[in-house]
Structure 1
């Protein structure tokens, strides 16, 4: 049995590495999509038939993390990391070097290797997008324009004639321009494949949805799929998060979307709109995948799907992503295509930003020294090929996090508070062990490991005791 398994692993590896023709890379990127919102995984009632098919045809990394953010706009940090390949505290400088043409971005590295590069959708990286991609259509800002009535809602019993409604095109947002932005992105993807099938060059296609970022808008037929009485509150639902404030989890724009204190009704409505936005996006992903098949390029195309981070939407009394809990730092990550094991799950902890390094290895491109994230291809051959001893994440000057062996430490340095969770036994992070004498040694051990990761990643907070560290909070997100 062991010899058979070894043969299969070697054969599987050869399927990826022995290709003489460079594979096409289709990168599909969602926005604010937490890991639990892939229907095939059975964690929520959200319907994602096309992402389910992708899951069945490929390998899912169940624990893919965002490395954090230097600003309230977690999106911009995550996307800057994925485009530059640089870690959270190095990415800003590398992005400046890319803009000055001193270093090369992900699409530029692909171009140098003979790829034609396409981009549509959300960018939110401080580099002119036309300077790094060959073909660009319908570039979107960090988020669609919203309106005041989209905040502090819904209030149970309010007049629906005056309420903000996700299908009402008068509210602008995703409806600005007349066609929902997710549908426009799919239109662009279909058009790109029409171009690509006429070209002998391999392609790198970067298709970035703004969905399911707020304002969470979708056609009414998608809202109607999710009756409120079918939506369950998260296991860790709270009316208020106890450590909310500028020195811990900020009461930032995202958090003001729902009323304080939270109510079961408000959270169910927000989750209804979140699910509907994802299901509508999934339908557009289906159109993109159908166009790939029709192009005749599918047999030599690797598909990578992930999101820039997750979102709370009611977990722990939170709505946004500016926190270190699983629902907000963890995103889906699926890779599918020739040589990739089908209907397979890998639980090894990775970063979602590993997508760039993975594509470079697939294209046989040498990784520049400033690209610190790792390819997942060795893990596809052998799940013991873990590139990271632990997972580190940071949020501005107020939160730090480390995961090792499914133990998780969250630190709020400014209020001198630590939280410890055993993720194997407490997946919803409801049982904080940090103040239990039994786990004092574990807290000390994890704190030392976290400080080592901070040093390794050039964290400007030199010590977890440094309560005077501050970062501008004015970035729009």
Structure 2
């Protein structure tokens, strides 16, 4: 069993709670290399000092945040979380669609193992017996609970949660709406739009409290849960999922007021030269909103700026909710005994290359924000090591002293957490299924190395290679040219092809 497949020492959690950060960092380094084995379903350790886990999932959050260098974004709470731990600058999701991405992360398996490719397929319908992340914590004596959007479906993996949020933090039917200032349309049949939405793609809610919208109300409820956990005799694994900045971009007016629409920059609309035509985003759900034109290739400047303004407002709104959770941990005295991990389930196009939404294998759709903060992690660090969502499961296991189940296909990031300057894995990979005219279903497998993004498109039936794409970030940081056919890159292709083939086996890269 490799060094990332064992639990930390039994005294690890107690020591990290009582020792300074420098000594605690030394302890994790020792624990990572200690030759110890344990079964995934081992009995929970009898220690009141075991670390809690707060996992914060954010829908459609791209790494356009102040802590990632986007100084035009108001994200003070996610920024302070980053300052308290380690920010991953090159983290990638496995599939750029929410349901499949979450199924992969929470199972620890790559999409060709989960066989979840969209938002409609529940994980348990494909892997009924897989030991999921919350289930593993439940089996090890944790109180497990979720609020908001963690899996795409609220009913997926229901047996893995020991506590229903409604029990300790009941919802208020007068709060937590989707729209608060816009009369919603009744859902009616439309001649060309199959899934016509009830309201517009954006809403400035005006002078309303945060809890008028769903995420604000759920943050309020999550605070109540954290307060109850402070007096509870079990460690907790709490997953809180915020929907914004997912469409529609709705938020109270004070978050819209943080941005001047006239100062918003429209991204370059040039498409990737010589890219495969079916590799582009099809704008996903955006064109299902009644205020968005459908028969256009590019949105006009006014609509583009309105949407970007709404996205920014929704990001800042969610950032404020994240702050409430951190404040609750601090005020209840649990901050120094809790691992926090924050992630956005995939990237999102806000007019980049003229595209919207996600649904591609390109950098914008697959690169994600990911931040770890824990007592045993040195504060205020960034790392350029490549990381993937399948790495979160084994990492949380090691940080809390549990065995890493054998089915996990990622690698623990604890070596990087102890040394942010060390090299990570050779490549991170993402996949997406599309339809190629005249061929049928094709699977795009994309690997991201330090320099390149290499993508193979193969037929789902038979595996025949249809197309390849190669982006060189060293010479083309904006990712606008496919250079796969250029002579000077032919020497790189064999290594990239080998990495791509390895990634499909489920073996850690």
TM-score in terms of structure 1 length: 0.79
Shift of residue 340, structure 1, vs aligned partner: 1.1
Q: C-alpha separation between the residues in 2 aligned to 1:165 and 1:212?
A: 11
The residue that corresponds to 1:436 in the other structure is: 486
Q: C-alpha separation between the residues in 1 aligned to 2:482 and 2:155?
A: 41
Q: Secondary structure at the match of 1:305?
A: strand
The residue that corresponds to 1:249 in the other structure is: 280
1:334-373 matches, cutoff 5 A? 334-373=371-410
Matched, 1:261 2:297: yes
Shift in alpha-carbon separation, 1:441–1:144, aligned structure 2, 3 A: farther
Q: C-alpha separation between the residues in 1 aligned to 2:154 and 2:252?
A: 32
Matched, 1:378 2:415: yes
Of 122, 135, 149, the residue aligned with 1:108 is: 135
Shift of residue 419, structure 1, vs aligned partner: 2.5
The residue that corresponds to 1:159 in the other structure is: none
The residue that corresponds to 1:310 in the other structure is: 347
> Quick check: 1:16–1:340 contact (8 Å CA) kept in 2?
no
The residue that corresponds to 2:194 in the other structure is: none
Q: C-alpha separation between the residues in 2 aligned to 1:266 and 1:238?
A: 18
The residue that corresponds to 1:219 in the other structure is: 252
Q: C-alpha separation between the residues in 2 aligned to 1:307 and 1:178?
A: 21
> Quick check: 1:240–1:318 contact (8 Å CA) kept in 2?
no
The residue that corresponds to 1:75 in the other structure is: 98
> Quick check: 1:117–1:203 contact (8 Å CA) kept in 2?
yes
Of 326, 348, 365, the residue aligned with 1:328 is: 365
The residue that corresponds to 1:118 in the other structure is: 145
Matched, 1:230 2:263: yes
The residue that corresponds to 2:220 in the other structure is: 187
Q: C-alpha separation between the residues in 2 aligned to 1:432 and 1:108?
A: 43
Q: C-alpha separation between the residues in 2 aligned to 1:223 and 1:117?
A: 35
Q: Secondary structure at the match of 1:345?
A: strand
Of 439, 446, 461, the residue aligned with 1:401 is: 446
Q: C-alpha separation between the residues in 2 aligned to 1:164 and 1:61?
A: 31
Q: Secondary structure at the match of 2:212?
A: coil
Shift in alpha-carbon separation, 1:103–1:241, aligned structure 2, 3 A: same
Shift of residue 53, structure 1, vs aligned partner: 0.7
Q: C-alpha separation between the residues in 2 aligned to 1:17 and 1:180?
A: 46
Deviates more, 1:412-421 or 1:90-99: 90-99
Of 148, 154, 163, the residue aligned with 1:135 is: 163
Q: C-alpha separation between the residues in 2 aligned to 1:335 and 1:321?
A: 24
Shift in alpha-carbon separation, 1:76–1:46, aligned structure 2, 3 A: same
Shift in alpha-carbon separation, 1:164–1:303, aligned structure 2, 3 A: closer
> Quick check: 1:248–1:412 contact (8 Å CA) kept in 2?
no
Q: Secondary structure at the match of 1:217?
A: strand
Deviates more, 1:279-288 or 1:335-344: 335-344
Deviations along 1:408-441, one digit per CA (max 9) or x if unpaired, are 1134447944332222443321233223222122
Shift in alpha-carbon separation, 1:39–1:274, aligned structure 2, 3 A: same
Q: C-alpha separation between the residues in 2 aligned to 1:163 and 1:454?
A: 40
> Quick check: 2:444–2:455 contact (8 Å CA) kept in 1?
yes
User: Where in structure 2 are there 5+ consecutive unaligned residues?
Assistant: 1-20, 32-44, 117-121, 172-176, 188-198, 434-441, 460-464
The residue that corresponds to 1:450 in the other structure is: 500
Shift in alpha-carbon separation, 1:104–1:416, aligned structure 2, 3 A: closer
The residue that corresponds to 1:392 in the other structure is: 429
Shift in alpha-carbon separation, 1:148–1:232, aligned structure 2, 3 A: farther
> Quick check: 2:25–2:378 contact (8 Å CA) kept in 1?
yes
The residue that corresponds to 2:107 in the other structure is: 84
**Number of residue equivalences:** 424
Shift of residue 114, structure 1, vs aligned partner: 1.6
> Quick check: 2:89–2:369 contact (8 Å CA) kept in 1?
yes
Q: C-alpha separation between the residues in 2 aligned to 1:118 and 1:403?
A: 34
Shift in alpha-carbon separation, 1:261–1:239, aligned structure 2, 3 A: farther
Aligned-pair Cα RMSD in Å? 3.5
Q: C-alpha separation between the residues in 1 aligned to 2:264 and 2:348?
A: 17
Q: C-alpha separation between the residues in 2 aligned to 1:126 and 1:197?
A: 26
Q: C-alpha separation between the residues in 2 aligned to 1:272 and 1:349?
A: 30
> Quick check: 1:249–1:398 contact (8 Å CA) kept in 2?
no
Q: C-alpha separation between the residues in 1 aligned to 2:454 and 2:335?
A: 42
Of 33, 36, 58, the residue aligned with 1:30 is: 58
Deviations along 1:49-102, one digit per CA (max 9) or x if unpaired, are 101111111110111101126xxxx111111112211111112489438974x3
Deviates more, 1:411-420 or 1:269-278: 411-420
The residue that corresponds to 1:62 in the other structure is: 89
Q: C-alpha separation between the residues in 1 aligned to 2:211 and 2:422?
A: 48
Shift of residue 264, structure 1, vs aligned partner: 2.9
The residue that corresponds to 1:462 in the other structure is: none
Q: C-alpha separation between the residues in 1 aligned to 2:258 and 2:486?
A: 44
Q: C-alpha separation between the residues in 2 aligned to 1:16 and 1:200?
A: 29
Shift in alpha-carbon separation, 1:363–1:163, aligned structure 2, 3 A: closer
Of 335, 339, 342, the residue aligned with 1:298 is: 335
Shift of residue 183, structure 1, vs aligned partner: 0.4
User: Where in structure 1 are there 5+ consecutive unaligned residues?
Assistant: 1-7, 150-161, 459-477
Q: C-alpha separation between the residues in 2 aligned to 1:448 and 1:15?
A: 33
The residue that corresponds to 1:470 in the other structure is: none
TM-score in terms of structure 2 length: 0.74
> Quick check: 1:80–1:92 contact (8 Å CA) kept in 2?
no
